[in-house]
Amino acid sequence: MTFSFTKTAQDPGSKARCGILTTAHGQIETPIFMPVGTVGSVKGVYHRDLKDDIKAEIILGNTYHLYLRPGLDILKAAGGLHRFENWDRPILTDSGGFQVFSLTGIRKLTPDGCTFQSHIDGSRHTFTPENNVDTQRIIGADIMMALDECCPGDADRKYAKKSLELTKNWLERWSRKFHESDPVYDYEQTFFPIIQGCIYPDLRVEAAEHALQFADAGIAIGGLAVGEPTEQMYEMLEVLDPVIPQDKARYLMGVGTPANLLEGIARGVDMFDCVMPTRNGRNGMLFTWNGIMNMRNAKWADDFSELDPSGTSFVDHTYSKAYVRHLFIAGEMFAAQIASEHNLAFYLDLVREARKHIKAGDFAAWKDVTVKKISQRL
């Protein structure tokens, strides 16, 4: 098999671990953060910078967005998303379930699938487990996500139970179609089932035990960071840790802040993604090893020091706080690019440092100190 996950180190003071996830387009060291490239690009960031400076090992694409635009005909003619966007490292695609969940009012869920209106032109479309497999085969990601319903974080138990039954049914059909179909291109693909169950521990365990029947190298944890308190998210991770075998990579979907990453790693999570580094960066928020900066604040106007003297990002040693603030105040698009690349570099630096401390056996103590430092507002 092309795909495998191997644990390589365990922190003695927490559930944090290191591993190697092997895919058709290369190996990924975990814990890892995956930059989000929703429509075939990580917004505002050159691929050369993702590779050489940010050192991204894997990026994401989104099935919902890519299905609507540029569309499957274009992607297939290009030879898949890797060739279309000229990215030769691993890619993971979300099934689009979260995006459909977000279209409240213009989507309908049934046992067969989900019908939704395009946010682009209002046209109607349907995802079923079966055609969702076909769609992700054409997109060509190394790791595909099974179609699920992302249950709201504040859902009552009755709704959460009904939602989970729908997700379980869809997973069974999705897995059947996956194993009955072949890759469109000349490499293997795998998929991760998604554990739902909202904030109800017994439903999370039920979901995990069901999903594990279909899991190969890894499994995803969905439906968190969607409105529930952060402490409940951590509680669900603690509930799931003893249920998920050690030989499965664990992907916490759509999370989160730098502190969320470290707390997730401490609870056994291996993979993360979030739009926060780029979205917040475009709005002037920079994450650093000393804390969080709002680059529009007047206090940076005459501060000619580096953005993050403790960091390793290439932008840290090139541009001053005063210069980057000036760019934001002037409305210069270069500000958003610098901030996006800085934040992504910080996130990747953060997980690399986490790996070092896991291997050294002192992650738990390092995490406690680091979370406080990187979470403070400067």
Question: For 241-300, where are the alpha helices, taking DSSP H only?
Answer: 258-266, 276-282
Which tokens in the block code for residue 281? Answer: 């960066």
Burial class (CB within 10 angstroms; exposed 0-12, middle 13-18, buried 19+) of 241: middle
Contact by Cβ (8 Å): 93, 142? no
Active site residue: 11, 49, 94, 349, which one?
94
Count of beta carbons in the 10 Å neighbourhood of residue 371: 18
Active-site residue, 273 included:
yes
3-state secondary structure of 3: coil
Which tokens in the block code for residue 277? Answer: 């580094």
Compute CA distances 257 → 163, 179, 276, 277, 287, whole Å.
Answer: 27, 36, 7, 8, 9
Which tokens in the block code for residue 131? Answer: 């055609």
Active site residue: 11, 273, 308, 316, which one?
273
Contact by Cβ (8 Å): 220, 251? yes
DSSP for 117-149, please give it.
Answer: E-TTT--EEEE-HHHHHHHHHHHT-SEEEPP--
Residue (of 36, 90, 37, 38) closest to 64 by Cα position: 38
Active-site residue, 142 included:
no
Q: Which residues are catalytic?
A: 94, 273
